[in-house]
Amino acid sequence: ESDFLLLEEADAFISIDDEPISSNIDATYYDPEGDILILEALLNNDPEPLSNQKDFFPTLHKDLKVVEPKNQSEEDEPPKIELKELPPHLEYAFLGDNGKWPVIVAKDLSSNEKPDLINVLKTQKKAIVWKLTDIKGIDPEFCSHKILLEEYYSPKVQSQRRVNPKIHDVIKN
């Protein structure tokens, strides 16, 4: 069934060659021979692209670094977190002894639900991350965003702009 659909899609793709090129599409982007070669490579699960088609397959794996997960035991030191005052419907619960590994839970959980939730969180502790660097297998450099400015530029705060009074009333309400 799936092979039939794949062949049907391939036939539909190849039949595009018979249709005239739309005036909205730039002719330089239309390369039926290259498209067919790419389609054949995908259908044959050919991991190495053809030599004249290398530009069509970005090599993302070269840009990404493989980060090996750290060997961490269950008793690793928890992060230093300052406990802040919570809204009235939330409270802190702790996954470790002596107030370690705080999590925020709803205050209105029943007497059975709260221990059940704490037990699930304790058994799945490795699934909980505290910051980006705790996520195993992801390079922090890949996740961080930097805005590079020239040395002689400094960040500026823009002043608030005026809004049409009619729109301002709509925004307020």
Tell me the two tokens of residue 59: 């090599």
Q: Is residue 103 very low, low, confident or very high in pLDDT (cuts 50, 70, 90)?
A: confident
pLDDT of res. 171:
81
Say whether pTM exceeds 0.85: no
Per the CB < 8 A criterion, the answer to whether 140 and 132 are in contact is yes
Q: How much is the pLDDT for 57? A: 47
CA 105-110-112 angle, 5° bins: 100
The domain limits of the chain are 2-57
Which is higher by pLDDT, 18 or 107?
Answer: 107
How high is the mean pLDDT of the chain?
Answer: 70
- The closest of 20, 16, 57, 45 to 33, measured between CA atoms, is 16
Residue 71's pLDDT is 59
Residue 165, both tokens: 């009074």
Q: Is the dihedral angle over the CA atoms 24, 29, 30, 35 positive or is it negative?
A: negative
Q: pLDDT tens digits for 62-74? A: 555 566 656 555 4
Among 56-60, 64-68, 140-144, the least confident range: 56-60
> Which residues have a Cβ under 8 Å from the Cβ of 149 and sit 6 or more positions away?
155
The answer on pLDDT for 32 being more than 70 is: no
